[in-house]
Chain A
Amino acid sequence: MPRVRVQAEPFDAGREIAALTAGRRDVGAVATFVGLVRDLNEGSAVSAMTLEHYPGMTEKALEAICDEAEGRWDLLGLRVIHRVGPLAPGDAIVLVAVASAHRGEAFAACEFLMDYLKTRAPFWKKERTGSGERWVEARETDEAAAARWSGKPPAA
């Protein structure tokens, strides 16, 4: 299975975890993050969302982020799945799953992957609210979260 997928279809987190660990006895930890569409953003009720992306660059950017995570921590497998197209509140948008020997590396790499994905992968969200459609603005807190990782990686 490719470690990066960009797809319109829903994903099954349990199946992805099973694929990461199938036939292995060296995996001691799998950390996963699933991002969901909320029905409230910036004070407005959100009825639907559309995810646009830059085909070709998106996959390349996600692969680069995965390479960086694998360079920082001893990982035994990882998966990044990001959905595109129309989504509804409650739908899962993104899955990051990381397998490693111990939990510390899995937790850290999972958070790193999400922080970098949110600031480096070319996706854009458009929300539908009661007053029409609007593009979601980038948050400075996301940049700050990604900047945390720019120093030396913590000792594993």
Chain B
Amino acid sequence: MVTVLYFASLRERLDCASELLPLPPGTPTVADLVERLRAREGRWPEAFAPGRAWRVAVNKAMADLATPLKPGDEIAFFPPVTGG
């Protein structure tokens, strides 16, 4: 299992702050997880559609689609940051 977090506008659009998900089989990456999220009903496909601006972090470090995942990882999806 992995923990998946959503922040800011993405959290509101998906109406989900966090969830526990099983890891995709094989040697999964962020891309595999995103494929699963896109396959959901409702607003999920649109939120993760190609070309939409979102960022991903794995274990609190910036990551990308190719980043490998392992059990116990914390994966966070969020919009481009706007602090400062």
- Interface residue ranges, A against B (CB under 8 Å): 35, 51-54, 56-57, 60-61, 82, 93-94, 114, 117-126, 135-138, 142
Expressed in whole angstroms, the Cα–Cα distance for A135 and B11 within the complex equals 12
Mostly helix, strand, loop or mixed at chain A's interface?
mixed
Please pick, from A52, A60, A94, the residue contacting B8 in the complex, using a CB distance under 8 A: A52
Q: With contacts A54-B5, A57-B76 known, is A124 near B82, CB below 8 A? A: yes
- Interface residue ranges, B against A (CB under 8 Å): 5, 7-9, 53, 57, 60-62, 76, 78-84
- B7 near A124: Cβ-Cβ < 8 Å: yes
Q: With contacts A35-B84, A118-B84 known, is A124 near B9, CB below 8 A? A: yes
Contacts of B53 in A (CB 8 A): 138
- B81 near A121: Cβ-Cβ < 8 Å: yes
Q: How many A-B residue pairs have CB under 8 A?
A: 73
Contacts of B7 in A (CB 8 A): 52, 54, 122, 124
- A54 near B80: Cβ-Cβ < 8 Å: no
Contacts of A57 in B (CB 8 A): 57, 60-61, 76
17 contacts between A and B (CB under 8 A): A35-B84, A54-B5, A57-B76, A94-B83, A94-B84, A114-B84, A118-B82, A124-B7, A124-B8, A124-B9, A124-B79, A124-B83, A125-B83, A126-B8, A135-B8, A135-B9, A137-B80
- A123 near B81: Cβ-Cβ < 8 Å: yes
Which residue in chain A gives the minimum CB-CB distance to B7?
A: A54
- B82 near A138: Cβ-Cβ < 8 Å: yes
Given contacts A53-B83, A61-B60, A138-B53, list 16 more A-B pairs with CB under 8 A.
Answer: A52-B7, A54-B7, A57-B61, A60-B60, A60-B61, A82-B84, A93-B84, A122-B76, A122-B78, A122-B81, A124-B8, A124-B81, A124-B82, A125-B83, A136-B82, A138-B79
